Amino acid sequence: MIVYGDTKGATHVRKWGIPAAALVLGVLVAGCGSSQGDGGKPAAAPKAEKLGPDTGTRYTKVAVPQLDGLTCSEGNGGFKFGDDLDMGVFGVDDLPALKDDEREVEGEDSCFGNPRITISKGTHSATVPHFTGRTDLFTKVADPQSALDASFEHSMKLAQSYGRSAVGEPKTYSTKTMVMKCQQNVTDGFPMTTCFWANYSAVGEVDFYPPNNQHVPLDQAAGQTRAFATAVLSTQSATTAP
């Protein structure tokens, strides 16, 4: 099943086997907006570094990322797999969530490149983002590596129980500012690459759709994940913990 909606949340459910006229509307909604560039320059694997100490930097909101070659906006880009196949950030309920008026501070963003990615099933096709990202903010993440491991294991197992199938082995990355773990998988027949990340203030995930119907390489996905995480945690919204 796929779900189409506006960029701030899917509102209409459509199955792959729908009439072509109805599907065209979904594709137009999913592909609205324009972008320049080639979908972002292929990112190299992040330089391997030991995670640095907690500097006390905290963030109060999730910003819409500004990334070269990509047009990003809040929401899922008008596309969802449905049937609980869409990835989320789970397994970190024990962390102290940052709240604003009693609501947990989190965000979902989607980024489109040029040319757009189109996925097809049977006689139907849909335009999808290059990737979607979900970010949860916390007052403190004392051990980012433990939070990453918990989120990755819980979220991937949950997704697999709904039909995602892991491909190969996951790969872990570490930089001075964050840790990441990436895994290729197959979702509703499509080759996806998913990366989870964590630092001392946030835990998130980025789900990469398949250009040319191929998995995004793990190293490239990790590099783009680092760029995305850095961009959504804008220094304009940063505070320093006492």
Digit-coded pLDDT (tens) for 89-118: 999 999 999 999 889 999 999 999 999 999
Q: What is the pLDDT of residue 20?
A: 32
Range of the domain at 193: 37-69+81-110+131-240
Q: What is the pLDDT of residue 19?
A: 33
Q: Is residue 178 part of a domain?
A: yes
* Per-residue pLDDT tens digits for 183-197: 999 999 999 999 999
List of residues 6+ apart from 23 with CB closer than 8 A:
14, 124, 125, 126
Q: Is residue 87 part of a domain?
A: yes
Predicted confidence band of residue 235 (pLDDT cuts 50, 70, 90): low
Q: Is residue 17 part of a domain?
A: no
Dist. CA 169–CA 210, nearest whole Å: 18
Q: Is residue 4 part of a domain?
A: no
Q: Is residue 7 part of a domain?
A: no
Q: Is residue 176 part of a domain?
A: yes
DSSP result, 121-178 = ETTEEEEE-SEEEEEEEBS--S-HHHHHHHHHHHHHHHHHHTT-EEEEEEEEEE-SS-
Q: What is the pLDDT of residue 215?
A: 97
**And the tokens for 237?**
């919204």
Tell me the average pLDDT across 56-63: 92
Per the CB < 8 A criterion, the answer to whether 180 and 46 are in contact is yes
* Range from 77-91, 105-119, 127-141 carrying the lowest mean pLDDT: 77-91
The single-letter code of the amino acid at 41 is K
**Which of 26-30, 78-82, 133-137 is predicted most confidently?**
133-137
φ/ψ of residue 220, rounded to 5:
-65, -40
Q: Is residue 184 part of a domain?
A: yes
Q: Which of 178, 176, 181 is nearest to 196 (CA)?
A: 181
Q: Which of 100, 106, 109 is nearest to 137 (CA)?
A: 106
pLDDT above 70 covers what percent of the chain? 80
Q: What is the pLDDT of residue 49?
A: 94
Q: Is residue 124 part of a domain?
A: no
Domain count, the chain: 1
Global pTM? 0.82
Tell me the average pLDDT across 171-178: 97
Per the CB < 8 A criterion, the answer to whether 201 and 233 are in contact is yes
**Which of 7-11, 23-27, 226-230 is predicted most confidently?**
226-230
Q: What is the pLDDT of residue 237?
A: 61
